[in-house]
Amino acid sequence: MASGTALIYDEEMTTHKLLWSDPVCDIEVPERLSSSYDQLKRYHLVERCVHVPAREASQEEILLVHSSEHLEVAKSTQTMNEEELKKVSGNYDAFFFHPNTYCCARLAVGATLELVDAVMSGKVRNGMALVRPPGHHSQRNAANGFCLFNNVAIAAEYAKLKYGLQRILIVDWDVHHGQGTQYIFEEDPSVLYFSWHRYEHQEFWPSLKESDYDAVGLGKGKGFNINLPWNKVGMGNSDYLAAFFHVLLPMAFEFDPELVIVSSGYDSGIGDPEGQMNATPEVFAHLTHFVMQLANGKLCVILEGGYHLKSLSESVCMTVRTLLGDPVPQITGEMAPCLSAVESIQNVRAAHKSYWKWLMYEDTSFLQNLSTKSLLLKKANPNPSTEHESKITNNDETVKVERFLELHMKNILFPVPPIKTATTDSRGSVHLLPVPVHFVKEIDKTEIKALVSGFYADIVKEDKNLLSLGSILAILDKILKKEVCNGIAESPTCSVSVAVALRHSVRFGFQRVLCIFVGDMEIIPNTEDGKILMIHICEKEQSGKTRSKHYISLNWKEDAEGNDFFPAVLGFILPVAYSYQPNLTVIAVGPNRSLGISGISLLFSLLQGLAESRILAVIKDTEINVMQSVAKALVGASAPQFGVYVPPTQEKVNKIKILRDQFQQEWKMLQCSVKDGI
């Protein structure tokens, strides 16, 4: 399996610059690239990447997307003087030429294509290209919005041609709508284009009707263009994550791309003068972590916008460290999407209902009045104040953002633990793990006996568990001390081991422990004090135990043919888990598990975004192949296989809907539709 992360940067691309005064374009400065690269060096991230050199794209490559007229205009600018440059720039909306622009734009395209080759050839697993000028606004015959050639669109056409790909996902998290990319692929079902963007009911640039949620694609491309408009500024981490859980990720997993390309603009981050949004740099680590789970990890991240130099460079670092497999930093802020975000999410889901299996049973009865409702909303407050009081409102607040980011980032980028995954060699079977793990010495028996007879006597009745408890406590110890990121322990009786592990974790200071138990669970730990949130995935209804905010039983039997667990993980488990914000995650697989291996590895892979990727896995000792696939997911040895995508049955969709309705007031990340009577 490919491993390693490519980084492509060429300082030649800093020579494109504005030669006259133009308040619209003067934010797109060369320092965007150099300060990002410098920050990557400061965090010692450059040296951990595979350096791939940029190259100039050929004319044929540019003609994959652009007209020869467009190419000729661009080429002709190399020898122009300032007056001529200014004149030709005036033909476009928000673009400027410099004598070096053509060369820089060819390097931007060439760098992007080199990254595609490095990933598709298996030289690396993923990578990032720091390029300018950006690309996603440029169109077949026009430059636009600081973009001359559409780097990402050319890369997608190039990948289809050279590698015969039939399904490419483009994720555009830049705060502007990549209308250029939309126009290029809107009739093409082989390229799924997702973009969120500041829209404010068509007030915000480029102010196009076709940027709204009902632009779903044309002809054969219907359903393959997804626009999520933000109708207010001040959107934050929870709004972005909700958009991934309830819109992008279900589409992406059903689409099952062979390659993912990100139009990675950071003007959607806090402090940016264009976006006016509030999402903090670590949200980009989470977004990157999620898209890394697709296409067997084949991911190309291409820089688009981002105009606040400090916010931009921190967010670039968050992206690269996640591509390298580092632990995903904890998200900050209240975990609840705002009303306007939920409305947009609901609208785009409704608009796509007839094109996607996962939306087949979506209830769109609200539609007839909602769209008018949003217009009513707009009339109700003509000058929409932001839903979130946007902390940073104008440029002289920039100093505040600098300060905020200084403080904020310091306690986030902790050193990466040398070892990712620990286990104990209590039994021969663990030696069979397919990946290098770190063996920890068990705590010896006498110590265990003392411990157990003290704090856990009411749970541990038989000696046969002592060995397994020893290994669990030894691994927990390493995780608590941040010496390892995660660990695997095997156990003859999982519910005893889990009960001890949970009580031990809380005793040692974890305030919120998320436990996902798959299979039969004899002992149900006490969840009354809220320090434990238990999600029990089992085949049949649990008698007796009443459901509470901190004890949720999800009855699920995985479909025999393949993996139909995606809606449960994306639409329910992740939103609840992110609402809870655990600082440790325990995932146990006990006897009579009702999930297949692919469902279980989906859980392990996606839950690594929580608790700074701290996970303790407790696996029934007879489940050797579960242990093997869990080890792979935890070490990050290879992008996990999630099995054949099986769309959920109506019965299963309803099951999740009922749970969502029941818990969405407590766990607000579950919200994806505006209840009647706003």
Please select the residue that binds ligand X54; options are 48, 106, 176, 321, rule is CB under 6 A.
176
Instruction: Rank residues 250 and 265 by Cβ distance to ligand X54 and give the closer one.
Output: 265
Q: Which letter does DSSP use for residue 139 in this model? A: B
> Mapping DSSP to helix (H, G, I), strand (E, B) and coil, where does residue 128 land?
strand
DSSP state of 572: I
Q: Is 172 in the site for ligand X54 (CB under 6 A)?
A: no
By CB under 5 A, what part of segment 291-330 binds Zn ion? 305
Query: Binds 132, which of ligand X54, Zn ion, none (CB < 5 to 8 A, cut-off by type)?
Result: none
Q: Out of ligand X54, Zn ion, none, which partner does residue 221 contact, by CB within 5 to 8 A per kind?
A: none
Q: Six-digit token pair at 439?
A: 């063996």
Q: CB of residue 178 vs Zn ion: minimum separation in angstroms? A: 8
- The reply to whether 174 sits near Zn ion by the rule CB under 5 A is yes
Cβ of residue 304: shortest distance to ligand X54, in angstroms?
4
Of residues 194-233, those binding ligand X54 (CB under 6 A): 205
Task: Find tokens 């902390």 and name the residue.
Answer: 391
Site string (296-315) toward ligand X54, x via CB under 6 A: --------xx----------
Q: How far is the CB of 641 from Zn ion (least distance, A)?
A: 35
Which option in Zn ion, ligand X54, none does residue 134 bind, with CB closer than 5 to 8 A by kind? ligand X54
**Partner in contact with 470, chosen from Zn ion, ligand X54, none, beta carbon below 5 to 8 Å by kind:** none
> Looking at beta carbons only, is 177 or 632 nearer to ligand X54?
177
**Cα–Cα separations (whole angstroms), residue 258 to 6, 31, 192, 248, 296:** 18, 34, 11, 16, 8
Q: Choose between 211 and 527: whose C-beta lies nearer to ligand X54.
A: 211
Q: Which two tokens stand for residue 354?
A: 């007839």
Contact criterion met (CB below 8 Å) for 197 and 176: yes
Q: How far apart are CA 506 and CA 520, in angstroms?
A: 23
Render 316-365 in DSSP notation, one character per residue. HHHHHHHHTTPPPPPP-S-----HHHHHHHHHHHHHTGGG-GGGTT---T
* Options 70, 98, 106, 176; binder of Zn ion; rule CB under 5 A: 176
* Interaction mask 252-281, ligand X54, x per CB under 6 A: -------------x-x--------------
Could you tell me how many residues of this chain bind ligand X54 (CB under 6 A)? 14
Distances in Å between the Cα of 320 and the Cα atoms of 140, 416, 525 are 31, 13, 39
Structure tokens at 435: 């990946």
Among 174, 314, 490, 559, binds ligand X54 (CB under 6 A): 174
Query: What's the angle, vertex CA 658, arms to CA 653 and CA 662, rounded to 5?
Result: 145
Element (DSSP H or E) covering residue 170: strand 168-172
- Which is closer to ligand X54, CB of 16 or CB of 176? 176
**Span between the terminal Cα atoms of the chain, in Å:** 50
Which span (123-131, 145-153, 325-333, 451-459) binds ligand X54, by CB under 6 A? 145-153
* Other Cβ atoms closer than 10 A to 668: 19
DSSP structure string for 540-571: SPPSSPPPBTTEEEEE----SSSB--HHHIII
Grouping H, G, I as helix, E, B as strand and the rest as coil, residue 587 is: strand
- Work out which of 80, 94, 367, 413 binds ligand X54, going by CB under 6 A: 94
**Which of 37, 92, 102, 146 is in the footprint of ligand X54 by CB under 6 A?**
146
172 binds Zn ion (CB under 5 A): no
Interaction partner, residue 623 (ligand X54, Zn ion, none; CB < 5-8 Å by kind): none
Catalytic residue among 98, 136, 137, 504: 137
Beta bridge partners of 230: 198
Q: Would you say the C-alpha torsion 78, 82, 86, 87 has a positive or negative sign?
A: negative
Please say whether the beta carbons of 529 and 500 come within 8 A: no
Contact set for Zn ion, span 552-611 (CB under 5 A) = none
Length of the chain: 678
Identify whether the C-beta of residue 516 lies closer than 8 Å to the C-beta of residue 584. no
Nearer to ligand X54, 174 or 326 (CB): 174
CA dist 93 and 77 (Å) reads 17
Largest CA distance in the chain: 87
Angle at 246 between CA 244 and CA 250, to 5 degrees: 80
Q: Tell me the window of 142-150, 441-449, 503-511, 560-568 that interacts with ligand X54 (CB under 6 A).
A: 142-150
User: How far is it, in rounded angstroms, from Cα 247 to Cα 358?
Assistant: 10
For the bound state, the minimum distance from the C-beta of residue 144 to ligand X54, rounded and expressed in Å, comes to 8
Q: Which does 146 bind (CB under 5 to 8 A by kind): ligand X54, Zn ion, none?
A: ligand X54
CB of 272 to Zn ion, least distance (A): 8
- Per the rule left: phi > 0, alpha: psi between -120 and 50, beta: everything else, 34 is alpha
Residues 594, 556 contacting (CB under 8 angstroms): yes
Nearest approach, Cβ of 304 to Zn ion (angstroms)? 6
Quote the least distance from Cβ 272 to ligand X54, whole Å. Answer: 9
Window of 144-152, 361-369, 616-624, 635-643 that interacts with ligand X54 by CB under 6 A: 144-152
What residues have CB less than 8 Å from 403, skipping those under 6 apart? none
Stretch that binds ligand X54, among 139-147, 249-257, 361-369, 647-655 (CB under 6 A): 139-147
Stretch that binds Zn ion, among 56-64, 72-80, 168-176, 586-594 (CB under 5 A): 168-176
State the Cα angle at 38 between 35 and 41, rounded to 5°. Answer: 155
Told to judge if 137 belongs to the known catalytic residues of this protein, a careful annotator would answer yes
Applying CB under 6 A, which of residues 2, 19, 24, 208 lies at the interface with ligand X54?
24
Q: How many CA atoms, within 13 angstroms, populate the side-chain half-sphere of residue 657?
A: 13
What residues pair up with 368 in beta bridges, in sequence order? Answer: none
What is the spatial distance between Cα 438 and Cα 503, in angstroms, rounded to a whole number?
A: 24
CB of 275 or CB of 571, closer to ligand X54: 275
Residue 305 beta carbon to ligand X54: minimum distance, rounded to whole angstroms: 2
Task: Identify which of residues 137 and 550 has a Cβ nearer to ligand X54 in the complex.
Answer: 137
Token look-up 């974790």 returns 505
Q: Which stretch binds ligand X54 (CB under 6 A): 45-53, 140-148, 186-194, 416-424?
A: 140-148
297 binds, among ligand X54, Zn ion, none (CB under 5 to 8 A by kind): none
Q: Which residues, 236 to 265, sit near Zn ion by CB under 5 A?
A: 265
**Is the CB of residue 286 less than 8 Å from the CB of residue 241?**
yes
What number of chain residues touch Zn ion (CB under 5 A)?
5
Residue 620 near which of Zn ion, ligand X54, none (CB within 5-8 Å, type-dependent): none
Report the SS3 class of residue 522: coil
- The one of ligand X54, Zn ion, none whose footprint includes residue 94, by CB under 5 to 8 A per kind, is ligand X54
Half-sphere exposure (Cβ direction) of 430: Cα atoms closer than 13 Å: 23
Binding site for ligand X54 (CB under 6 A): 24, 94, 134, 137, 145-147, 174, 176, 205, 265, 267, 304-305
Q: Which residues are part of the catalytic machinery?
A: 137
Binding site for Zn ion (CB under 5 A): 174, 176, 265, 267, 305
